Amino acid sequence: MSEAEASEPRDEPSTKKRRKRDKKRPRSIEREASVATLDDRLSGARALLAAAALVACVGVALVGIGPSELGASLVLAGLVGLIAGVHFVGRMGPA
């Protein structure tokens, strides 16, 4: 070993020690992590539904004021977002 390597402190544990530590982790932690990701996906789908509904309402309001290409585009985008949001929520199952 050179002097530069010897003088640098080693912050990371060896790979073998990390592997042993990972194997000791209980499986319940992994299950909790999968539940958290399901909740995250559900909240993401709900956010998509809310945003799509808002975009569709703004589009309908713009079209209600007068004929507008922007309003029609927003209504279309909102409806596509609503369909996608309902699809994502439906794919998650009854849980």
Percent of the chain scoring above 70 in pLDDT? 60
Q: Helix 27-65 crosses helix 69-91 at what angle (to 10 degrees)? A: 160
3 state SS of 25: coil
Whether 73 and 58 have beta carbons less than 8 Å apart is answered as no
Q: How far apart are CA 39 and CA 42, in angstroms?
A: 5
Listed by start position, the domains of the chain span 38-95
**Ramachandran quadrant class, 18 (left: phi over 0; alpha: psi -120 to 50; beta: rest):** alpha
The model's pLDDT over 44-86, given as tens digits with 9 standing for 90+, comes to 889 999 999 999 999 999 999 999 899 999 999 999 999 999 9
The model's pLDDT over 20-52, given as tens digits with 9 standing for 90+, comes to 555 665 555 555 555 557 777 788 889 999 999
